[in-house]
Amino acid sequence: MSDEEERAIAAAGKDENGDSIFGKIVRKEIKADIVYEDDKVLAFNDINPQAPVHILVIPKIRDGLTRLSKAEEKHKEILGHLMWAVAEIVRKNNLGDFRLVVNNGPEACQSVYYLHLHILAKRQMKWPPG
């Protein structure tokens, strides 16, 4: 089992209902290299990049969105806004082609239970992933 898999399994459920590192970043309790911010979304560079450009995009309010599979009808607006923000970030940073990833649960190696989108760019991606 890889370190990434071990971290994901250890994190599963740990901060499902509690605070997370992303909540602390939103509240500016922890510094992050912020690349985009509006009233609903925050985006920052990943501290462990998997590509030359690796940006995480999160809603400012978690509202039960610990993972995409927990989305409810009330989340439709923020989910759409997250996608729009990704397009805006890509345009403003001239990223060109990119991959967008959402890890959902421990088998997908989700290690922070706060919905987040990964923008990966500036390298050739492989298929199939993983």
**Residue at 91: amino acid letter:** R
- Token pair belonging to 121: 């760019």
Pairing of β 41-45 and β 53-59: antiparallel
Contact 109, 103 (CB under 8 A): yes
CA distances from residue 49 to 17, 31, 46, 52, 79 in whole angstroms, order as listed: 26, 16, 5, 7, 23
Contact 104, 127 (CB under 8 A): no
User: Catalytic annotation on 54?
Assistant: no
The span from the CA of 45 to the CA of 34, in Å, is 7
- Token pair belonging to 35: 């690349």
Single out the catalytic residue among 54, 81, 116, 118. Answer: 116
Residues annotated as catalytic (active site), given as ranges: 116
